[in-house]
């Protein structure tokens, strides 16, 4: 009973993000009471340890997996991950049957245990990982699973367990078994070299997808598979491209008589919306990747760009300066019923529809400062989440709880000190974090949850 109450309270704490109060970030900060959780190192028997060491050159894979989970959960700001030094019970015994008093003693309310075993299937090495989620106060197991995979997949196993725990304890779907594609940047500000890069959501396994020979910008994931659309200046012809990140195959999207840019997939992944700039006028177009039919959706002498579909595919939000300044508009996906929705002070750009459908994230410039904010799809309930010298390009986590964006620093009087970094912030305005990348980074796009 007490356990149920605990979970109820926890869900309740998460709830305020869905209400639309005007957030005064600093005033309400600190109201969150993170849930104390212990993540026991996963037990590995001696024989398995030897085989895994041979395969992966990792001494204690069970410990490493528990660290992946710990890192994921801690960064949500919702969990207080307790220090492993304080754990009284050995991993193998805890996994069999925890002595709940011991875990309660260190104030842990939830416990994660697990076991890693090496397996041979068809003469190939695999790892089998078993995990259990325990309610310490209720003294019982509340969730768990086991899965078998190739050894190199071990980090993903940690992410899948994190997703399960997050889902079980918050009632929301997770976002840990995902990847982020972005533009890796190097070199002086006047001659930046940019490459497409992809990494796991927690910053590991970075891979570079282009060499940096040509300028590349604004990569975006297909929400249904591992395809990416982006802008490349290949042969000095800025065009929207499609890239299969598994095969490396890329191709130009469509045949347009001018620069195409600002691409984004439709929710079903079958279409790409983008801008076409020609003779000083940018309009929004859609191209169906199956039928190869392309269609112009806006018709106005102003700049129309940064289009983004609603998750049901029925509407498109976009950026236009038809009123004289950049503002956010919504129209039906056939281009009809165009309606301006942003009316606050300042100029607005980069509208991105939330995967939940109820909010639009945007960039706002007001009095020389850049803000990332959200508003309802009719433009009401504007909330600014973060303010800085320069930041833009919000992208939603697949569960719609977190926004990732990039931030650039002001240079000093000598023009030195420029940097571009990825940051994330909760929809509530809490928990702003630097997302670590190997190089400078911009234009992040968050993938959907990966399949199996």
Is position 215 an interface residue for another protein (rule: CB under 8 A)?
A: yes
Contacts with another protein in 31-60 (CB under 8 A)?
A: none
Q: How far is CA 197 from CA 92, 183, 317, 350, 422, in A?
A: 39, 6, 27, 21, 13
CB atoms within 10 A of CB 146: 12
Burial of 229-252, coded b for 16+ CB within 10 Å and e otherwise, reads bbbbebeeebbbbbbebeeeebee
Q: What is the DSSP letter of 85?
A: G
Q: What is the DSSP letter of 88?
A: -
- How far, in Å, CA of 430 to CA of 40, rounded? 28
Min dist. Cβ of residue 443 to another protein (A): 7
CB atoms within 10 A of CB 443: 25
Asked if 177 and 164 count as a contact pair (C-beta separation under 8 A), the reply is: no
Is position 217 an interface residue for another protein (rule: CB under 8 A)?
A: yes
Tokens of 400: 């719609």
Q: Which is nearer to another protein, 106 or 259 (CB)?
A: 259
Please select the residue that binds another protein; options are 279, 336, 337, 345, rule is CB under 8 A: 279
Min dist. Cβ of residue 109 to another protein (A): 43
Asked if 51 and 125 count as a contact pair (C-beta separation under 8 A), the reply is: yes
Q: Assign 384 to helix, strand or coil.
A: strand
Contacts with another protein in 154-193 (CB under 8 A)?
A: 188-192
Please select the residue that binds another protein; options are 236, 247, 336, 452, rule is CB under 8 A: 236
Q: Which is nearer to another protein, 153 or 302 (CB)?
A: 302
CA terminus-to-terminus distance, the chain: 35
Give the distance from CA 441 to its chain's centroid. 14
* Pair type for strands 43-44 and 110-121: parallel
Any idea how long the chain is?
A: 452
Tally DSSP H helices, then E strands, for the chain: 7, 30
Please select the residue that binds another protein; options are 17, 319, 424, 428, rule is CB under 8 A: 319
Min dist. Cβ of residue 178 to another protein (A): 23
Is position 377 an interface residue for another protein (rule: CB under 8 A)?
A: no
Q: Which is nearer to another protein, 152 or 323 (CB)?
A: 323
Contacts with another protein in 51-110 (CB under 8 A)?
A: none
Number of residues that bind another protein (CB under 8 A): 46
Contacts with another protein in 380-419 (CB under 8 A)?
A: 389-390, 392-393, 408, 410-411, 413-416, 418
- Nearest residue to 247 (alpha-carbon basis) of 263, 226, 233, 268: 226
Asked if 23 and 429 count as a contact pair (C-beta separation under 8 A), the reply is: yes
Please select the residue that binds another protein; options are 8, 204, 325, 343, rule is CB under 8 A: 325
Helix (H) or strand (E) holding 447: none
Q: Which is nearer to another protein, 53 or 192 (CB)?
A: 192
User: Per CB under 8 A, which region of 38-46, 196-204, 272-280, 287-295 contacts another protein?
Assistant: 272-280
Please select the residue that binds another protein; options are 30, 248, 257, 280, rule is CB under 8 A: 280
User: Per CB under 8 A, which region of 66-74, 129-137, 277-285, 376-384 contacts another protein?
Assistant: 277-285
Give the sign of the dihedral formed by CA 255, CA 257, CA 261, CA 262: negative
Min dist. Cβ of residue 167 to another protein (A): 34
User: Per CB under 8 A, which region of 15-23, 74-82, 106-114, 278-286 contacts another protein?
Assistant: 278-286
Min dist. Cβ of residue 368 to another protein (A): 8
Helix (H) or strand (E) holding 44: strand 43-44
Please select the residue that binds another protein; options are 113, 363, 397, 448, rule is CB under 8 A: 363
- Nearest residue to 241 (alpha-carbon basis) of 260, 213, 267: 260
Q: Which is nearer to another protein, 47 or 323 (CB)?
A: 323
Binding site for another protein (CB under 8 A): 188-192, 215, 217-218, 231, 236, 238, 258-259, 261-262, 275, 277, 279-282, 303, 305-306, 319, 321, 325-326, 349-350, 363, 365, 389-390, 392-393, 408, 410-411, 413-416, 418, 442-443
């Amino acid at each position: 009973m007490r356990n149920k109450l605990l979970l109820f309270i926890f869900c309740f704490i998460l709830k305020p993000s869905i209400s639309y109060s005007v957030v005064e970030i600093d005033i309400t900060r600190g109201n969150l009471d993170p849930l104390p959780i212990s993540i026991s190192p996963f037990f590995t028997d001696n024989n398995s340890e030897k085989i895994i060491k041979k395969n992966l050159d990792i001494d204690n894979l069970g410990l490493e997996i528990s660290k992946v989970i710990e890192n994921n959960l801690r960064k949500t700001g919702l969990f207080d991950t307790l220090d492993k030094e304080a754990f009284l019970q050995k991993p193998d015994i805890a996994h069999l049957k925890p002595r709940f008093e011991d875990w309660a003693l260190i104030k842990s309310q939830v416990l994660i245990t697990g076991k890693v075993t090496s397996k041979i299937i068809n003469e190939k090495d695999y790892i089998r990982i078993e995990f259990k989620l325990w309610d310490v106060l209720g003294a019982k197991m509340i969730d768990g699973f086991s899965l078998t995979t190739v050894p190199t997949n071990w980090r993903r196993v940690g992410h899948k367990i994190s997703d399960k725990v997050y889902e079980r304890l918050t009632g929301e779907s997770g976002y840990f078994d995902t990847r982020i594609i972005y533009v890796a940047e190097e070199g002086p500000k006047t001659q930046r070299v940019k490459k497409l890069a992809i990494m796991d959501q927690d910053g590991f396994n970075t891979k570079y997808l282009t060499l940096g020979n040509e300028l590349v910008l604004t990569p975006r994931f297909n929400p249904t598979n591992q395809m990416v659309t982006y802008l490349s200046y290949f042969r000095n012809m800025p065009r929207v491209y499609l890239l299969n990140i598994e095969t490396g195959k890329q191709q130009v999207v469509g045949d347009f008589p001018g620069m195409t840019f600002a691409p984004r997939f439709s929710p079903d992944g079958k279409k790409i919306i983008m801008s076409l700039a020609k003779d000083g006028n940018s309009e929004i177009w859609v191209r169906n990747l199956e039928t190869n039919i392309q269609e112009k959706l806006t018709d106005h002498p102003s700049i129309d760009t940064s289009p983004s579909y609603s998750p049901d595919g029925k509407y498109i939000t976009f950026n236009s300066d038809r009123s004289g300044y950049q503002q956010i508009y919504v129209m039906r996906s056939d281009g009809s019923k165009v309606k301006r929705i942003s009316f606050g002070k300042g100029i607005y750009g980069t509208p991105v529809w939330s995967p939940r459908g109820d909010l639009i994230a945007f960039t706002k410039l007001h009095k020389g400062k850049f803000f990332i904010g959200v508003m309802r799809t009719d433009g009401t309930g504007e909330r600014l989440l973060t303010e800085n010298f320069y930041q833009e390009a919000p992208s939603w986590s697949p569960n719609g709880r977190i926004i990732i964006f990039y931030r650039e620093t002001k240079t000093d009087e000598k023009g030195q000190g420029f940097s571009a970094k990825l940051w994330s912030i909760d929809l509530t305005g809490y928990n702003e974090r630097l997302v670590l990348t190997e190089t400078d980074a911009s234009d992040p796009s968050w993938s959907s949850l990966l399949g199996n």
